[in-house]
Amino acid sequence: VSDKTRLATAANRIAWDNSAKHHATGASWDALITGFGDPAYSVLDKTLTNALRAAGVRGGEIVQIGCNNGREVLSTLALGARAGLGIDQSRAFLDQGEILTKISGRNCQFLCSDIYALPLDTPNDFDVAFITIGVLNWMPDLAGFFKAVANLLKPGGQLVIYETHPFLEMFDPAADAPFAPKFSYFHTAPIIETLAITYDGTVHDDAPETHWFIHRMSDVLTGCLTAGMQIIEFQEFAHSIREVDYDIYADQDAQLPMSFLLRASKPAS
């Protein structure tokens, strides 16, 4: 692992831990506390639910990388997964995941680790791995990331990615002219900010610095292929799965792609 990757992931771990307190309060958190009391509760939308079903979630062991408070990996148990593992390097968010797990009574565990430095005894025979909104851009090195993710899967296992479309990263909804591209599609330096990480823009505290990386769609596809995965489904969508301030880019005549879904399999031998 390079120094760039180590420095960025260490900074991001501190920033995510620091932001966790903002997420364990308010209406969204209350909805999770109430929701996970219901055995059928799931926060997953139709697109992701269908992709996980196609990937074989029913009866399988599933791992989520960058699981945050665990709400999504816990939801896969309602889709029939046999067991879930959420991997994240933020202890403070995994503590929230433990609270939700207890309420739900679902068969889910958490591993607190940087994906670039997984313990040697991490299981490597998952049926399904998945990554959702807001993970790839925290990764300084996509090739190394996909190698680590592919290693978690058994031969024949499938990976599902449901993420922000890289084109959207060219725009900043908080800019004076939010419809003018702000960042080059080919920007490679980290974008370093010192804002608390929230999904609704309600907290404006200064916070530890975050390192955010713009990747091209070709970086995602190449990272996946170089890790030995075979792409079996790839879709681009006009709908947003991002924070609410990105909703201004939806329902336009000249529509940007806002999200994508990729499903890939690890060859059986």
Q: Could you say whether residue 75 binds ligand SAM (CB under 6 A)?
A: no
Number of helices followed by number of strands (H, E) in the chain? 7, 9
Residue the block writes with tokens 């804002």: 195
Query: Measured between alpha carbons, how far is 44 from 222 in angstroms, rounded to an integer?
Result: 27
Q: Could you say whether residue 259 binds ligand SAM (CB under 6 A)?
A: no
**Shortest reach from residue 145's CB to ligand SAM, in Å:** 8
**For ligand SAM, which stretch binds (CB under 6 A), given 114-122, 169-177, 187-195, 206-214?**
114-122
**For ligand SAM, which stretch binds (CB under 6 A), given 27-35, 55-63, 109-117, 176-184?**
109-117
Q: Could you say whether residue 89 binds ligand SAM (CB under 6 A)?
A: yes
Q: Could you say whether residue 213 binds ligand SAM (CB under 6 A)?
A: no
Sheet holding 126-132, edge to edge: 108-112, 83-88, 61-65, 126-132, 153-164, 259-265, 230-237
Query: Measured between alpha carbons, how far is 25 from 10 in angstroms, rounded to an integer?
Result: 25
How large is the C-alpha radius of gyration of the chain? Answer: 18
**For ligand SAM, which stretch binds (CB under 6 A), given 29-37, 89-97, 167-175, 188-196?**
89-97
Q: Could you say whether residue 135 binds ligand SAM (CB under 6 A)?
A: yes
User: How many residues lie near ligand SAM (CB under 6 A)?
Assistant: 19
Query: Measured between alpha carbons, how far is 75 from 47 in angstroms, rounded to an integer?
Result: 14
**Residue 96 or 265: which CB sits closer to ligand SAM?**
96
Q: Could you say whether residue 134 binds ligand SAM (CB under 6 A)?
A: yes
**Shortest reach from residue 170's CB to ligand SAM, in Å:** 19
**Residue 96 or 158: which CB sits closer to ligand SAM?**
96
**Residue 66 or 84: which CB sits closer to ligand SAM?**
66
Query: Measured between alpha carbons, how far is 139 from 136 in angstroms, rounded to an integer?
Result: 5
**Residue 121 or 176: which CB sits closer to ligand SAM?**
121
Whose CA is closest to 242, among 257, 254, 230, 224? 257
Q: Could you say whether residue 66 binds ligand SAM (CB under 6 A)?
A: yes
**Rounded to 10 degrees, what is the CA torsion of 232, 113, 10, 199?**
60
Please list, residue by residue across 54-73, b when 16 or more beta carbons sit within 10 angstroms of its beta carbon and e when fewer do. ebbbeebbbbbbbbbbbbbb
**For ligand SAM, which stretch binds (CB under 6 A), given 27-35, 112-120, 150-158, 256-264?**
112-120
Query: Measured between alpha carbons, how far is 179 from 170 in angstroms, rounded to an integer?
Result: 10
DSSP secondary structure string for all residues of 189-231: S-EEEEE---SSS----EEEEEEE----HHHHHHHHHHTT-EE
Question: What string marks each residue from 9 to 48 as x (binds ligand SAM by CB under 6 A) or -?
Answer: x--x---x--------------------------------
* Binding footprint of ligand SAM on the chain (CB under 6 A): 9, 12, 16, 66, 68, 71-72, 88-90, 93, 114-116, 132-135, 138
